[in-house]
Amino acid sequence: MNKQYYVNGEWKSSEKLSELKSPHTNEIIAHIPQATREEVELAIEVADATRKEMVELTAYKRASILEHIAQLFADNRQKAAEIMALEAAKPLKFALAEIDRTIETYKFAAEEAKRLTGEMIPMDAAKNGANRFGYTIEQPIGVIGAITPFNFPQNLVAHKVGPAIASGNTIVLKPASQTPLSALFLAELIDQTELPKGAFNVITGSGKTVGDALVESDKVKMITFTGSPAVGIGIRNKAGLKKVALELGSNAGLIIDKDVDISHIVPKCVTGAFSNQGQVCISLQRTYVMEEQYDAFIKQFATATKELVIGNPLEETTDVSAMIQPGEQDRAVEWVQEAVQHGAEIITGGTIENGVFMPTILTNVSASLKVSCQEVFAPIVVVNRISSVDEGIAAINDSNYGLQAGIFTNDIQTAFKASKQLEVGGVMINDIPTYRVDQMPYGGVKESGTGKEGLKYAIHEMTETKLVVWNQS
């Protein structure tokens, strides 16, 4: 099956195609166009030429288009999820859940399109402000270059496309090389709406060719990127004065205090650590358990982990399937072996069986080892013993990352202290750090990136505030 990319409301092909293989079966499922730099630049020119038409759309019209996208996803829920399961090996139950979130995200975007307002400025509060009337308006910045990852190929795209449309911008989307089919399916749906042709474009190809063209173009006014810190830092260094929003991952930590209900916590931790094969920016990677709870937690956590269903992502009973590439599974094994060589203990997992890296629990892990201090992006979780919550806070903060963290505690003072002292973008009280709903502000500190997602917050990133002052004297 040869696919085409989508520009100016038309389907186009490139001379060069690449094979797209299923992570689960390694079978070829499609041939994907590899756009040239000239083809990317044409897409940018098309998006730039459509700016005026997008700006002239009313808030009502933009909201209606976004509501239509949400409805089209609802009408095609199963198909969209199956595409995701096929190209990303995301178990179908999680793929369906992602489509449900995607629908909600576009609905939130539709609502925010109607709330895009400025504010009144009390000019006469200043000595020289008498007889002046001031206000601000929020205006779209222009062409948005969106570069998205494989792990949430519809919902993370929605977090870029939704606010861009809501705020009246145009978009050139570069999807992850492993998940282009989801982006192209989105293009099929958007093509059925009244969004102006050229306002949304999908270009497939290598990160270097497509990404560099977007980052270096003077016509692209903002890059919104989700991916690795190395690539994100490179984008920021090349971007010049254009806006850049970066979501660069994490090694999310959780503290489990004494006197909490372990049986209530364990199912959440299993979900947080192993859903989507641990390939989630806020996947639970580091767990710090008070010594009073440690033995009971390890026992129940291991038992629940061993009950996970491993297998075909297209089967609704599957909990864990293959990671995105065989090389990533091999890396996960190497990181586990390194940890064991330095004194860590494997409670369960650590090997590849029937083409799947098994869910892995490690204990007694040094903070300097890769499985602890780097983003593992695999179904691996570290569980270490602590003697105080302060020790847990210090351990979580001892990281180059800071996206989200969680703490389970029955002590309100402990919860308040953790909320203030944890060096992260979001603190989840009595929940795992993997918790996210799509309207909340989402973004990290340190090497976890800059800027915020969440529809209202992303829209603010994608607009410029213009001040208007009337002299009435």
Just list the catalytic residues. Answer: 247, 281
Tokens of 150: 């494989």
Q: Do residues 273 and 284 make contact, with C-beta atoms less than 8 angstroms apart?
A: yes
Q: Long-range CB contacts (< 8 A, 24+ apart) of 291-299? A: 291/385, 291/386, 291/387, 292/258, 292/259, 293/256, 293/257, 293/258, 293/260, 293/262, 294/383, 294/385, 296/262, 297/256, 297/262, 297/265, 297/266, 297/383, 298/347, 298/361, 298/363, 298/383
Distances (CA, A) of 190 to 187, 197, 211: 5, 9, 22
Tokens of 258: 């004494």
Angstrom distance (rounded) from CA 335 to CA 196: 48
Report which of 397, 180, 413 is spatially closest to residue 405, judged by C-alpha positions. 397
**Unique residue bearing structure tokens 């933009």:** 62
Angstrom distance (rounded) from CA 411 to CA 75: 46
DSSP states along 374-395: S---SSEEEEEEESSHHHHHHH
Pairing state between β 404-408 and 253-256 = parallel
Q: Do residues 329 and 322 make contact, with C-beta atoms less than 8 angstroms apart?
A: yes
| Residue 46: HSE in the Cβ half-sphere, 13 Å Cα cutoff | 22
Report which of 422, 174, 380 is spatially closest to residue 186, judged by C-alpha positions. 174
Angle between helices 155-166 and 180-190 (to 10 degrees): 40
Angstrom distance (rounded) from CA 70 to CA 439: 15
Pairing state between β 17-21 and 286-290 = unpaired
Residue 312 CB contacts under 8 Å (≥ 6 apart), including other chains: 24, 318, 321
Angstrom distance (rounded) from CA 297 to CA 1: 48
Q: Do residues 389 and 417 make contact, with C-beta atoms less than 8 angstroms apart?
A: yes
Q: How many beta carbons lie within 10 A of that of residue 21, not counting itself?
A: 16
